[in-house]
Each structure stands twice: as structure tokens, then as C-alpha cells.
Homo-oligomer: A and B are copies of this chain.
Amino acid sequence: MNYMKNALKYKGTDSEWDKLVRKFICSETQADREKLFEYMQQILFGLQEFLKEHVGVTEAIDLKKLALSYLDTNLSEAPQKRLTQVISEIMDEIAPHAVNVSSPYFVGHMTAAIPSFMVILKAVVAALNQNVVKLETSKVVSVIERQIVAKLHRLVYDFDEKFYLDNVQSVDTTLGCFTEGGTSANMTALWAARNNTFAPKKDFEGVEKEGLFKAYQAYGVERAVVLVSQRGHYSLSKAGGVLGLGNNNIVSVASDCDGTVLISDLKDKINRFSNDSTAKIIAVVGVAGTTETGHIDPLSEMAEICKHENIHFHVDAAWGGPTLTSEKYSHMLKGIELADSVTIDGHKQFYMPMTCGMVFFKDPSYMDAVAYYANYIIRKGSVDLGIKSLSGSKEANSLILHGAFELLGKRGYGLLIDHGIELAAEFAEEIRKRENFQLVTSPKLNILTYRYCPTKTKHELLSTSGDERTKIQNKINDVNINIQRIQREQGKSFVSRTALKRKEDSEKIVVLRAVLMNPLTNIEILREVLDEQEMIYQKHCKGTI
């Protein structure tokens, strides 16, 4: 390569520069390359060795002690390590103290094992280093991104072939976009809804240009609200804060005991704000797969009400969206096709590496309200994907999802979904069978919550009320906090914990939460998780309840 030789010639006498330039091409000796290959083999084709040695969330060194190794805040002048050393540091020193999210015993969060090919695809995307903010730094990749967005849009909305042919590669319309994650996807949806609510009109240039204060004045209101299930993700409240609406105007709609929106309360609240001439409803948000319990709001009913009232209906399907790939269970999301916008996360049930979100809009012109243009980038009438996007520069995550669908097919994703849902049902059965455990929320998708609560205590709860009952609940809470902590520290298994308010309780109760997305997790493993919790109670908490 001629220019490489030139590059080296240019500052040929400066050997430090030569070394630096080589790092852009390939800085390694043959021996180093072989060593690196060994590591990369582990990394690219599954972390078998790593998995074998470090199962679960190990806490061999506690965090405070660990933090002591990371206090130096001086940037070293000279290079300190070769690449093989950096990688071996990560593999040998950092990885063992990271969290092994790919263990089948790690069933506590929405982060889990990803197929090994995802890592390879991520590396390819990094090597190509395209920036999909504009065509000039991405070209065909922007076209592929539009295609995969359209494919997912079709999975959700299933419009006819003509609709998709008209829109898939149109420079004028937008079916949705990739985002950093679910938070920015929800934020994008509410941003667009806010701007369409306070659209330009006579003597008013629109909220994006003039700001919220002027918008409220132009529309004669003092308040703009978003109605969300009380089980909605905190990112919706955050979006309200960021967008200037205020968290207080992200209004909670009560949920019934299974955790989904109470239609009666939704209707009441819509009525209240519709009859208040000083208020405007920007959107109603339904959740398809709540973060804490995996429940699904009554989407069809909510959509119908919103249609009738002419309110933007957003569905946060960050978690549950991929259920649409399942032949057996896609019906659970019935009504999502009526939503005006939908959030789906790629790094959750599409098993992509951190992080990838997406948002889709039923109306291909809806995102016009959030379009930006600039001279040197995102030019009007171009394919530049940065025109309608909360982000600026953006990596080509779309290529990963494109590859993943080629590799797994819709059916492959569907089978993963089926496994999670069926395993959750089986796990719920197992919990019900054990007299020292109590199922708190039955799984609808693949998430369930439960707690340690012996039969004797269950009976006590039934026969007491008021302060006495609260006292018992507090004790049960303490036990469950301890069980979760000790299990985590033992390092074999990990479930998470949260607090939920049930109808029959005056206060939130602490629950253990299992998220079943890893295809390697099975009922034997889950029985071991319960056995360990039982043993922890017997050893550490016995007699406290």
C-alpha cells in the first residue's frame, strides 16, 4: 500500500510516529498476534472459559475494596501496555469482577446472554465505522437501516405492500428510527407527540421553535400532560422532565392487581383533562411488558379510547415488542398495531449487544415535527438519517439486526420468546408448589415476582390488619432483602428485587424478580435458585418470621 509507505516516509525519522501510525494498521508482532487470537477466539466464539470459572455475580472482592484499585486519575504520558497486555488485563482482572450476565443463573435483569455471532457483527460494524447521521459517511448502510426499520414497522403494523414500497426508501417519509436505547426511543416518541400537539399555526411557529411557554400561551393552556400506567418505566417520567413538561405532568393511571392500566381510571383522567380548558393531553402511554412484572396493558381498549378522543397513543414495548415474532404468543400484543408510536429495544429481546433502541411511527409524516437540517450534514431532501433523530452521530446498529434476522429468522426469535414465556409459567408452578414461597405476580410474558414467605406467615397476614400486619410485612421484606443480597454475594445465582404495591396492602412489599430470557436457563436451574434461597433462609434468617 503506497500511501502507507508514504505516511511512514513522511515522518520517517521519527520512530515514535512510525509506531503510532502502525497502531492504525496493525501494531502487533506475529507472536502477539497469536496470543491475541487465542483471546479473540474466546471472545468471538463464546466466553466458555470465562463462563466456567465465573458463574453468577461474584462478590469475591467487595466494591469498596475494588474501587481502591481505581483511584489514580492521572493520564500516563507514555503508553503503558501492549495490546495483548490490555486484553489480558480485561480478561484476567476486569472480567472476573464484571457481572457475568450470560450465565443461565443470572435471571435478575433484562440483560443476559447474547448469541456469539452478535459480538462478531458488532466488531464488523466497528471496523466499518460508518456514521449513519448522513449518507456521506454511511451510504448503503443508511439504505439498509431504512429497510430494517421498515421490516420491523411491518412486524408491528402490517400495512399493505404498497405502503411499504412507497415508504421504505422514500427521502420524504420516515417509518421510525434507531435510537441509543429505550429511554431515547420513548423520549423521541413524546418529543414528536409534543411537537405535533403544539404545531405551528397562525402567529405561532410551533413549540420546537418558540418553546413551551409560548406554546401554552398560543394554545391557551397552562398544563400539558401524558397519561401513563403507574407501572410505566421511569424513562417516561424522565422524558417529561427533559422535554419541559415536568415529571408532575406525567400522570399516573392506576393499575389493577395484575399490574395493567385500569380502563376506568384512564377514562376518568382523560375526562378530567379534556374538560379542563387549561390542560392538554399530549399522549397516552400503554406498556407492553412492564419492567417490573412484564405485564401488558389492554392495548386495544386504550387505542380505541385514544382514537375516539384524538389523543396520540404510544406503546412502550421496549421489553415485550419482540413477542410479535412468536406464532404462539404474538396475540398477547393485540392492539399494538393501533398505536401511533411504538418503542422496541434491540438489546433486550432481540438479543443485541448494548445498546440499541428503536421507535416506530404509524404515520410516516409524524416525525416531520422533529426534523433538523444543517448545511454540512443532514441536507434537506437527502437520505441523511440524522434529519429526524434525537441523536447526531450514530453507529450502524441496524447492520447487526439485519444480520441477526438473516441468521435466526423471525422463527428463531419466536422460539426464544416461546421458551421464556413457557419457562416462566413452569417456574410459577414450581413456586406455587413450595409452601415457603409466595408468587406475587403471575407471569404474563417471561417475568414474574415472588417472595420468601412461609405458610405460617401467610396465615398470620390473613388474620391481621393495620399496624400489626405492616409489622409482619416489614419483617418479610427484611428477609427477602437479605436472601437476595446473600445469594448475590454467594455468586452462584442472581435474581433482582424490587418493591410492588398490591391492592390488599397499604405499603409496597419487597419482591424477588426473575427475568427469563436466557435460552440456557431451564427449570432445573430455577429449582436450584429456589433451593439456594431456602437454604439461605434456614441458615441466616431462620426464626425472624
Q: Among the listed B126, B153, B165, B182, which residue makes an inter-chain contact with A119, where contact means beta carbons less than 8 Å apart?
A: B126
Q: Among the listed B141, B144, B292, B411, which residue makes an inter-chain contact with A77, where contact means beta carbons less than 8 Å apart?
A: B411
Do the beta carbons of B141 and A94 come within 8 Å of each other?
A: yes
A120 CB to closest chain B CB (Å) equals 7
Q: Among the listed B117, B131, B187, which residue makes an inter-chain contact with A83, where contact means beta carbons less than 8 Å apart?
A: B117
A342 CB to closest chain B CB (Å) equals 16
Q: Which of A260-300 contact B (CB under 8 A)?
A: 291-292
Interface of A is mostly: helix
Q: What residue of chain B has the Cβ atom nearest to residue A242's Cβ?
A: B191
A109 CB to closest chain B CB (Å) equals 5
Q: Among the listed B81, B119, B354, which residue makes an inter-chain contact with A394, where contact means beta carbons less than 8 Å apart?
A: B354
Q: Which of A94-143 contact B (CB under 8 A)?
A: 94-95, 97-99, 101-102, 104-105, 108-109, 111, 113-131, 135-141, 143
Do the beta carbons of A154 and B355 come within 8 Å of each other?
A: no
Q: Which of A333-348 contact B (CB under 8 A)?
A: 345, 347
Do the beta carbons of A184 and B180 come within 8 Å of each other?
A: yes
Do the beta carbons of B7 and A104 come within 8 Å of each other?
A: yes
A47 CB to closest chain B CB (Å) equals 6
Q: What residue of chain B has the Cβ atom nearest to residue A106's Cβ?
A: B137
Q: Among the listed stretches A302-310, A360-368, A515-523, which one makes contact with chain B, having 4 or more residues with CB under 8 Å of it?
A: A515-523
A407 close to chain B: CB less than 8 A: yes
Chain B residues, CB < 8 A from A86: 117, 121, 403, 406-407
**Per-position binary interface string of chain A over residues 408-436, scored 1 when its CB falls under 8 Å from any chain B CB and 0 otherwise:** 11111001100100000000000000000
Q: Among the listed stretches A211-219, A251-259, A461-469, which one makes contact with chain B, having 4 or more residues with CB under 8 Å of it?
A: A211-219
Please measure, in the bound complex, the distance between the C-alpha atom of A183 and the C-alpha atom of B164, giving whole angstroms: 31
Chain B residues, CB < 8 A from A535: none
Beyond A86-B403, A191-B242, 4 extra complex contacts between A and B, CB < 8 Å: A20-B415, A24-B114, A73-B154, A111-B129
